[in-house]
Amino acid sequence: MPADLDSLARRNLLNSRSPDPDKMIRLGRTCLEEGHLSDAVDFLSAIDDETGLETVLETAVDEGDFFIYSRAVKVLERPMEASTLERLAENAERLGKLVFAAQARNRLTRNQAPPRQETES
């Protein structure tokens, strides 16, 4: 979170009925630059800034952060693509984020599994 923004001000901004888009974009980009990806998702999703959220998504993949990646794809209403999950898992492993790597591979496996067929009883 940007140094000039305390928790109360952050809450008030995010709960505002009509947030100032320029301010939210500025805060979202500042959070992104400072490595506060979760806060960046919060600010950018409040105003549906697809471009900013795309940047967060790519950063999450590069940093092997499955949690932020899953938040970003949910906000953007996109599926988790196999090639992106594989890249995220590889980056997570390389960076020692083994839980995120396992989560990405688990999701990859679930996405590729054939749908279950219901059996008649």
pLDDT at 67: 97
Residues whose CB falls within 8 Å of the CB of residue 65, separated by 6 or more in sequence, listed in order: 37, 59, 88, 92, 97, 100
Work out the number of other CB atoms within 10 angstroms of the CB of residue 76.
15
Give the count of beta carbons closer than 10 Å to the beta carbon of residue 44.
26
Helix, strand, coil shares of the chain as percentages rounded to 5? 70, 0, 30
What pTM does this model have? 0.82
The answer to whether 92 and 61 have CB atoms below 8 angstroms apart is no
Query: What are the domain boundaries of the chain?
Result: 7-111
| pLDDT tens, residue by residue, 14-28 | 888 888 889 999 999
* % of the chain at pLDDT higher than 90: 70
- Cα distance between residue 47 and residue 34, in whole Å: 20
Segment among 1-10, 64-73, 100-109 with least mean pLDDT: 1-10
Residue type, 39: D
pLDDT value at position 18?
A: 86
